Amino acid sequence: MKTHRLLGLLAGLALSSLAWSQTATVGAPDPAQGWQACAQQSQDATARLACYDRWVQQQGQAAPAAVVATATETPASPPDCRSGTHSTLSRYWELEAGSDCGRFNIRGYKPISLSWVHGTSVNTAPSSTATGRTATSEQPYMRNEMRIQLSVRTKVASGLLPMLPEGQRDSLWFGYSQQSYWQLFNTELSRPFRTTDHEPEVMYILPTPLDLPGGWRLRYSGLSLNHQSNGQTLPLSRSWNRAILMAGMEKDDRYTVTARLWKRISDGDGDGTLSSLDDNPGIDDTIGRAEVAGSWQIDPEHTVALTLRHSLRSDANGSWRLEWLSPLDSSSKGLRLHVQFFSGYGDALVDYNRRRSLLSVGLSLVDW
């Protein structure tokens, strides 16, 4: 009797387990069908409700997983090539992979500026020792005028030398600068532009990192082919061509020093010497053959710069330029108040053989 009761109990448990298993299987929603699978269980309200409960739980577990997957797959924003941890000269010439802004982007070169200028003198009749290059009459120019400078550059190629260490970038640039003196206050002459200089330039820049004494670090060296002309016809035409070697170093991202040494290229009669085509004989004896420029960022509000040019001859001609720049406010970015003192030869190409001193005050756009 006890045996029959035990067999009956075991049979009942087996049937109950089978029924529960079938109910759970039927009640579980098919992930491919979702809640529609629960809706099909119309005969058993309890199983249908349990199916909906399990489907809701599955959605709650899937959503965070999807969010995590999406966050993981989203690519990080690329670093800003004009800021970050890279040094001033690295950002300026894009010497490293992290400071590389790509090709054919328009960037600033020399400051873009608008300034009021007062000169100790003004060239009313430009002259030259070359035949037919001296003005035949004087113009009543004023010593107070405006100066406008535009200057841009673009990188046309990079990574030209595959043997450079990983992460370093050599580059080829094209630059163009234009400087005009505008007789804005001269109503007698109907406010003309007194002179405008045009300066296209091709530059190759090579990263040359080297530690120097005193915490300085050499950053780059380069070669430039430079043409400068005032675009005038005779007798006021002035132009010359140069091949320029250059290099730059810096310290603590507050001090930078750049140097340029140039050789004038013949205007060309075919014999390798300067010729009757030369508008301005002896220009390298006056404007100079070398330039050293240094800047000191005293703090975020004040930068001082000094540029020296020298003829590398015993007569020691050339020029010096002292500048102070300060942002207008924290939101002005590259727009600076700019005060400059200049003395020497060549502030304009037409004045290559005339020494004068200038004070200028204005606004300059830099670092863009």
Span 127-157, pLDDT tens digits: 998 888 999 899 999 999 999 999 999 999 9
Under the banding of pLDDT at 50, 70 and 90, the label for residue 272 is very low
Can you tell me the mean pLDDT for 175-181? 98
Phi, psi of 147 (to 5 degrees): -120, 130
- What pLDDT sits at residue 26? 44
Q: What is the structure's pLDDT at 27?
A: 45
Q: Which residue, 244, 229, 243, 238, is CA-closest to 199? A: 229
Tokens of 261: 């040494």
Strand partners, 303: 297, 325
Residue 353 has pLDDT above 80, yes or no: yes
Q: 284 in helix, strand or coil?
A: helix
The residues, any chain, with a CB within 8 Å of residue 14's CB and separated by 6 or more, are: none
Q: Give the pLDDT of residue 39.
A: 64
Q: In the chain, helix, strand, coil percent, each to 5?
A: 20, 40, 40
pLDDT-derived band at 13 (thresholds 50, 70, 90) equals very low
How much is the mean pLDDT over the chain? 84
CATH architecture of 103-134+141-267+282-365: Beta Barrel (2.40)
Q: How many helices (H) and strands (E) does the chain have?
A: 5, 13
- pLDDT beyond 80 at 36: no
Whether residue 37 has pLDDT greater than 50: yes
Residue ranges per structural domain of the chain: 22-72, 103-134+141-267+282-365
More confident residue, 53 or 21: 53
Q: For residues 329 and 104, is the Cβ–Cβ distance under 8 A? A: no
pLDDT of 42 over the 90 cut = no
- Percent of the chain residues topping a pLDDT of 70: 76
Which two structure tokens, joined as six digits, stand for 234? 């005779």
* Cα–Cα separations (whole angstroms), residue 263 to 203, 223, 226, 316: 15, 11, 10, 17
Whether residue 51 is predicted with pLDDT greater than 80 in this model: the reply is: no
CA angle 89, 93, 94 (to 5 degrees): 100
pLDDT category, 19, cuts 50, 70, 90?
very low
